[in-house]
Structure 1
Amino acid sequence: MRAQSRPAAGPGRRLGPIVPASSVSGTTLVMVIAIMTYLAGLTVGGVDLVRATADDWARDIVRETTIQIRPAEGRDMDASVARVSEIARGTRGVSEVRPYSKAETARLLEPWLGSGLSFDDLPIPRLVVLKLSDATQFDAVAMQAKLEREAPGATLDDHRRFLDRLVAMARTIVWLGVGVLALMLAATVLSVVFATRGAMAGNRDIVQVLHFVGARDGYIAGQFQRRFLRLGLKGGCAGGAAAIATFLTAGLMADQGVGTAAVDQVDALFGRFEVGASAYAGVLSIVLIIAALTSITSRVTVYRTLRAMG
């Protein structure tokens, strides 16, 4: 039975660490952890950007609805647009009505059909966009029934189908991001396991001597745990700082490129590139989680290896 928890050192001597302060395996592990943390940070930022953009789209869609007027033989489109606009202005819950002219409607189709085309012979529907009030409830069913009675050919589109698809897409991306993070954390844990076993094998003689003089398993495991905790913090901080620097650089480049065709197209699809505070908090959380996993994994691995050594 072991009588002491830690081997005694001679007078005036300080017991050195079991695991060398610097080694090739330690440097390699720091690089692996830094890369994993960096990729995990980018994943957190990307998921946060998509989530924020989807929320913005959802808020805009909820506050807006569209009435579409289909052309038909003998139908006066201008008169139909005027009648639909009049009905919309008298509807509860509508704060603003904006009918699109024929030229404005044609411009909406230019990205797909190109410019310079004649739309006179094409059955292009006319649009009336309604801005909805936040204070008053809008009854879409009653509005559609009124349009069917008083404005034949006009249909109300509340964008519900698009909103459902948008929410489903955002949720899918979030879960994919969670899956990627889980895989990266698992890869980090495996890397720590192999690095700890390598360190144990490289210091096998020292560990056996410590056992012989009465060192407990907890003392030996604590030495490895502290060493790998420092490695995890070092690699995690490096990867996290690189991820945050990437966010800041991308935001700066987006601000400087405002007005260019590429940036305008990205803004039209995803909105303004802006990583929120939750993404930065997520990166910091990833750093702490990886450091904790590195520490706990090394301790568990040391205990299992010591039991196997007998």
Structure 2
Amino acid sequence: MTERADPSDTRKRERLVTLRPMAPIVPPVNVSGHALMVVIAIMSFLCAMTLGAVTMIQEKAEAWQGDVSREITVQIKPEDGLDMEAALTEVRTIALSFPGTLSAEIVDRASTARLLEPWLGEGFDMDELPVPRLVIVTIDETAPPDFAAIRQNLAEAVPAATLDDHRAWADRLISMARITVLIGIGILTLMFATTMLTVIFATRGAMAGNRHIVEVLHFVGAETSFIASEFQKRFLLIGLKGAAFGGGIAALGFLLLGAWQSNSMATALNDQVTALFGRFTLSGAGYFGIVGIVVLISAMTAVTTRLTVTRTIREIDRQRADPSLAEIG
């Protein structure tokens, strides 16, 4: 007669199996995982800083271009026998006579002296120097005046006056902004490629350390998609943590720099930093771009890991089918 199993023993075994913890395929904490997280954080920080810098430069260039395109300048050089005040008034009248000009403002002597103080110092006598005088004309951007006709009238009425429509500066500004954007895109592309290669090497390292587990699971029937999803979940978490940390530090850096510049106005250090690098003010589009970088790097990490694991399992299948390949490997 066969012995009947004790129902209580069966329930105990089932309870032990249920309570037994399931070990993950990829260890949740290891040295390579921490190293990969640090690398992703560094690359995310550099990508976010590059994107923020490119965004600020692009926005500043657009603002400068708008300011330049709204104004033209008429410069009058002092000459012997020239009544400067009468010439300034004549230039202003000629400019306002053309359709498309909204206003014309004569830069007075005090304002001209303030413009020259950084180079000539305070208290200099303008009468002792041949300092040109300016008339700033505001124009309608949608329907600008005829610059050639203005130049011709100025040449006839006030030969010492010259018109500058700032087109050369605007063209240079647009070219500089485009080159900066292209350089920024190139740098971001290289950083993304470096991050992708780092993820590939880290995934292959994790596969090599757990290759026997992967081979056993695959041999007993585990699908490639299941094994790849386990690696993908682990590396997605690593990529998300690293990218969020790096992007968050970059966003915090822009916020702190902007707050420092706002709270230290009219200081020598702030003036020098602003003159060299401009205002560290990042718009909402810049911060949205940083969030996009975090999401993109995390998704790229997950997708790269899944493709790498799938390719590695295919190599295992080929080696199993052809033992000579395993000997070569």
Q: Same fold (TM over 0.5)?
A: yes
Once the two structures are superposed, residues 60-119 of structure 1 have per-residue CA deviations (whole angstroms, 9 ceiling, x without a partner) of 111111001122333222221121122123232222221123443243223234444444
**One of 224, 236, 261 as aligned partner of 1:229:** 236
| 1:167 Cα offset (Å) | 1.0
**One of 276, 281, 306 as aligned partner of 2:283:** 276
| 1:11 Cα offset (Å) | 5.3
**One of 287, 291, 297 as aligned partner of 2:294:** 287
Give runs of aligned pairs for residues 71-82 of structure 1, distance below 5 A: 71-82=78-89
Amino acid at match of 1:25: S
Q: Which residue of 2 aligns with 1:6?
A: none
Q: Which residue of 2 aligns with 1:301?
A: 308
Structure showing greater radius of gyration is 2
Q: Which residue of 2 aligns with 1:247?
A: 254
**One of 63, 79, 82 as aligned partner of 1:56:** 63
State the alpha-carbon separation in 1 of the partners of residues 153 and 30 from structure 2.
Answer: 78
Amino acid at match of 2:189: A
**SS of the residue 1:131 aligns to:** strand
Of structures 1 and 2, the one scoring higher in RCO (CA 8 A, sep 6+) is 1
Amino acid at match of 1:154: A
Amino acid at match of 1:227: R
Amino acid at match of 2:251: I
| 1:143 Cα offset (Å) | 1.2
Q: Which residue of 2 aligns with 1:18?
A: 25
In the superposition, the TM-score normalised over structure 1's length comes to: 0.89
Change (3 A) 1:269 1:201: closer
Give runs of aligned pairs for residues 1-310 of structure 1, distance below 5 A: 12=18, 15-133=22-140, 137-264=144-271, 266-267=273-274, 272-309=279-316, 310=319
Once the two structures are superposed, residues 24-49 of structure 1 have per-residue CA deviations (whole angstroms, 9 ceiling, x without a partner) of 10011111111111111111111111
Once the two structures are superposed, residues 194-219 of structure 1 have per-residue CA deviations (whole angstroms, 9 ceiling, x without a partner) of 11111011111111211221222222
Contact 2:43–2:191 at 8 Å: present in 1 too?
Answer: yes
Amino acid at match of 1:301: T
Kindly tell me the number of residue pairs found equivalent between the two proteins: 301
Contact 1:53–1:270 at 8 Å: present in 2 too?
Answer: no
State the alpha-carbon separation in 1 of the partners of residues 187 and 278 from structure 2.
Answer: 24
Unaligned runs of 5+ in 2: 1-15, 320-329
Contact 2:258–2:279 at 8 Å: present in 1 too?
Answer: no
In the superposition, the TM-score normalised over structure 2's length comes to: 0.85
State the alpha-carbon separation in 2 of the partners of residues 87 and 237 from structure 1.
Answer: 59
State the alpha-carbon separation in 2 of the partners of residues 75 and 134 from structure 1.
Answer: 33
Unaligned runs of 5+ in 1: 1-9
Q: Which one is further off, 76-85 or 190-199? A: 76-85
